[in-house]
Amino acid sequence: MHLPRLHAKVYAADGEQAVVTSGNLTDGGLRMNHEYGLLVDDPDLAGRIEAGVAAYAGLGAEIDTITLNRLCAVSIDARAAYQAQTASASRDATRRLRAVVRATSETLLRARLARGPIHTVFARTIEYLLRQHGPLSTKQIHPLIQGLHPDLCNDMVDRVINGNRFGKKWKHAARTAQAQLKKRGTITLMNGVWALVR
């Protein structure tokens, strides 16, 4: 699963135990580095940790094998482009590095939106946020969405119709998601605050 800025290290598989640790699931993280972690041996707490991680992961994009292989190939290009750019301050090296970074971003964005348009991603996110935080206003929801999806929330892109600007394009998609959730009866707006319908 791909979710920008996700750096949590929680390992849970059976609802009985969970490991919450600073260590990555790498050779260094498991064998060589000095890491700290906790083994949660309480099935109730382990189950809640596993459910929480699954809910959070559900906000991200599932990366299929083809995309993963493409990203691996791009990472090799990125490393070479970065090394060339740091070894030489040439414009060509800098352009090549920027092109590789742009290609990587586009590949990840395509993966993020493979399950539906941006407002579908935001709808899942709004439900998640309301479960986690309780009722929230739109003003409170927006920075939380942006924190979870910085790659989808570009403040440089406005929604423009007939030359008129109507605010940030991603915020419009968030409002569309709210409207769809309200229409489905999933959330409701009362006194300027959105809440899940129980």
pLDDT digits (tens, 9 = 90+) for 43-55: 999 999 888 888 8
Instruction: Determine the Cα angle at 133 with ends 132 and 139, to 5°.
Output: 130
Average pLDDT of span 105-127: 85
pLDDT value at residue 166: 65
Residue 167 pLDDT > 80, yes or no? no
Mean pLDDT of 32-45: 88
Q: What pLDDT band is residue 121 in, cutting at 50, 70 and 90?
A: very high
In DSSP notation, 61-120 reads: B---HHHHHHHHHHHHHHHHHHHHHHH---HHHHHHHHHHHHHHHHHHHHHHTTTS-HHH
The rounded distance, in Å, linking the Cα atoms of 198 and 187 is: 9
Nearest-5° angle of CA 109, CA 187, CA 110? 10
Mean predicted lDDT score pLDDT of the chain = 85
- Is the predicted pLDDT of residue 195 greater than 90, yes or no? yes
**Closest among 178, 176, 180, 171 to 192, alpha carbons compared:** 178
At 163, the pLDDT band (50, 70, 90 cuts) reads low
Domain 118-196 CATH assignment equals 1.10.10.10: yes
Strand partners, 188: 195
pLDDT digits (tens, 9 = 90+) for 56-103: 888 888 888 988 888 888 888 888 888 887 777 778 878 888 888 888
Does pLDDT of 160 surpass 70?
A: no
- At residue 87, the pLDDT reads 79
Exposure b/e, 2-38, CB count within 10 A at least 16 = b: bbeeeeeebbbeeeebbbbbebeeeeeeeeeeeeeee
Q: How many helices (H) and strands (E) does the chain have?
A: 7, 7
For the segment 134-146, the average pLDDT, to the nearest whole number, is 96
The pLDDT of residue 59 is 87
Note the pTM of the prediction, 2 decimals.
Answer: 0.73
Q: What percent of the chain has pLDDT over 90?
A: 33
pLDDT band at 30 (very low <50, low <70, confident <90, very high): confident
